[in-house]
Structure formats: C-alpha cells, structure tokens
A and B are shown apart, each in its own frame.
Chain A
Amino acid sequence: MAQAVSQHGHDHDHSHDHGHHDPQEMKLLGFWIFLITDVILFGTLFATYVVLHKNTAGGPGGAEIFEMPGVIAETFILLTSSFTSGLAVLAMNRGNVKQLISWLIVTFVLGAAFIGLEVTEFVKLIGEGHGISASAFLSAFFTLVGTHGLHVSVGLVWMLLLIIQLSRRGITDVTRGKINVISLYWHFLDAVWIFLLSVVYLLGVM
C-alpha cells in the first residue's frame, strides 16, 4: 500500500494535505457555515417584517417615523468600517501589528458610532410612543433591526478583546485566524445592513 502510494507520491500527498486541513482553514470554513445560519436567521426576520410591515394597528408606518439623515449616516459609517476592517487584514498580511491594531481601533470606533446612532433612533422612537409593542409593524421592525444591532454590539466586544490579545501576543497563527474570522463577520454585518437599508428604510419611505 505504502509502495503504491509513493508511486503517485506528489499528487496523493497534496490531496491528503487538503483533506486534513490546517486548523485555521477549518475554522474559517466553520465560520462561513455559522454565517450561513445567520443568513437564514435574518431571512426569517426579513420575511416576518415584509409580511407584517403594513399592520400598523392604526399607528404610524415607516414613512412617518423613519428619519433618513440618521439612517444614511449609519449606512456610510458601517460601510467605511467594513472597508477599514479589510485594511486591518491587509496590515496583518504585511505583518504590521501596529497598523493592524490601529485599523481595528478605527473599525471599532466606527462600529460604536453606528450603535450610538441606532440606539439614539430607538430611544427617540420609544419616547414618542412607538415602542416594540405598539404594533405588529413595530414589533417586526425592532426585532429585525435590533437583531442586527445586537450582532454589531457582540462584534464590538469581540473586537476589543482581540485588540487586547493582539497587543499582548502579536500576530501568531492563532491571532491571524481570529482576525480573518472577525473581518469576515464584519463584512457580513455590512451586507445584512444593506438589505435593512433597502427593505426596511428605503422601501419604507419611498
């Protein structure tokens, strides 16, 4: 058997290698699969929203309560943070830990600004009596947008922990894998936000 294998030594070695991938590659694939389950989670919440968005229980609809300037600001902030998290990965690939941490901090600050704007929007809506229990439309709205906000918040805490770990350990195989994963997560959240902007806000106010 061993003899036969060594006949095609090179080819076989190669495919064997890829069969048992290095742990970081497998983690990245595993994270992709987690993201797909998240796609399905958001898909069901979008379906709920689309079905319920006209059921305002006599209250206001999206066109009356959405304030676009804040939403547009949130959009460009999150878009830019997606870009800067990509720049962080580029800095990591160059092996520059200082730049990597700097770009992560920029990404973190932008993410925090996004959450700040979103919380302000929510507090204002609730203060005006448009809380989550006011109508089916608002229940679906807060659940959908809030779930995304929760994801971003979790990402912020995660990023902060990674910044601390990077400053202590530098770029190793393990931290490299973690940065790849969180940047994937961050791009994904931006992609989800695009659909929130389109389906909830733009279709809401048009």
Chain B
Amino acid sequence: MAQHSTDSHAHGEDHAHGSLKSYIIGFILSIILTIIPLVVVMNHMFQATATILIIMITAVLQFVVQLFFFMHVRDRTGNQPRWNVMALIFGLAIVLVVVSGSVWIMAYNGVGY
C-alpha cells in the first residue's frame, strides 16, 4: 500500500514537470542564448570587457535553463529536502574557489621573480 502511494506520487511528479511545453521553451531559450554570444563575438560588436561579460552571462543563463527546463532540478517527492540542489550548490562553491583561486594565484605568480 505504502509502495503504491509512493509510485503514483512519483508518476504525478513526472507529468507535472516534464511537459512538452517546458522542453520546447527550454530548447528555444537555449538556442537564443547560444546565438547571442556567437553573433556578438563573430561580428566584433563590442569591446573586450563587454564581450566577455555577455559571453559569461549568457553561458550561466543557459546553464540555469538546462537545470530548470531539462534537468528538472526542482523536482522532489513530498516534503523531502532537495538534496540534489544542496549538493549542486556545494559543488559550484568548490568550482568557484578552484577556478577563481587558481586564476588569482597564477595572475600574481610572476611577482616573486
């Protein structure tokens, strides 16, 4: 009985989140967010700083689109905590430290010489 109720619940969740509409919206958003930086870079539309900003912002936005529209990061069953989101935030924090830390240290690597 308990098993059955969990199953039907999980089933309902699938239908709630994985709709064709949300996949199509996600796909269209991804295409737009890919074309913007491509056009900006290939046509040399802006200065370096603005270009870098546009590239990184559209990349992050597209990552968010993938997470929400395709990977259904918000999916959960019942009142369960969102362990996947917590693990993701932890992982991203580590990545941020590793990448920015490496760049920071190596940028000043030549100072000692």
Contact = CB atoms under 8 A, between A and B. Distances in A.
A43 B37 contact: no
A17 B2 contact: yes
Interface of B is mostly: helix
Interface string B27-50: 100110010011001101000100
Contact of B23 (A18, A90, A197, A202): A90
A43 B70 contact: no
Given A51-B106, A79-B31, A187-B71, A22 B59 contact: no
B98 A43 contact: yes
Interface string B50-64: 011001101100110
Contacts, number: 139
B18 A40 contact: no
Interface of B: 2-3, 5-7, 10, 14-15, 18-20, 23, 26-27, 30-31, 34, 37-38, 41-42, 44, 48, 51-52, 55-56, 58-59, 62-63, 66-67, 70-71, 77-80, 83-84, 87-88, 90-92, 94-95, 98-99, 101-103, 106
Interface of A: 13-18, 21-22, 24-25, 29, 32-33, 36-37, 39-40, 42-44, 46-48, 50-51, 68, 72, 75-76, 79-80, 82-83, 86-87, 89-90, 93, 184, 187-188, 190-191, 194-195, 197-199, 202-203, 205-206
A82 B29 CA distance: 13
Nearest to A44: B98
Nearest to A173: B7
Given A17-B6, A195-B63, A205-B41, A32 B95 contact: no
A87 B91 CA distance: 28
Q: Lowest 8 A-B CB distances belong to which pairs?
A: A43-B95, A36-B91, A32-B84, A47-B102, A198-B59, A187-B70, A83-B27, A191-B66
B67 A191 contact: yes
B70 A198 contact: no
Contacts of B44: 206
A40 B11 CA distance: 32
B67 A43 contact: no
